[in-house]
Amino acid sequence: MPRSLVAGGAGFLGSHFCDYLLEKGH
């Protein structure tokens, strides 16, 4: 798996995870 794809996927999931935490009130 290309390293750039891994980094992109991690950033994509990370941004959604931050949004999820903000919605929960963290």
pLDDT at 14: 84
Q: How far is CA 25 from the centre of its chain?
A: 18
Torsion of CA 15, 8, 6, 16, to 10 degrees: 20
Alpha-carbon distance of 5 to 24, in angstroms, equals 29
| 1-26: pLDDT as tens digits | 788 888 888 888 889 888 988 998 87
pLDDT at 5: 85
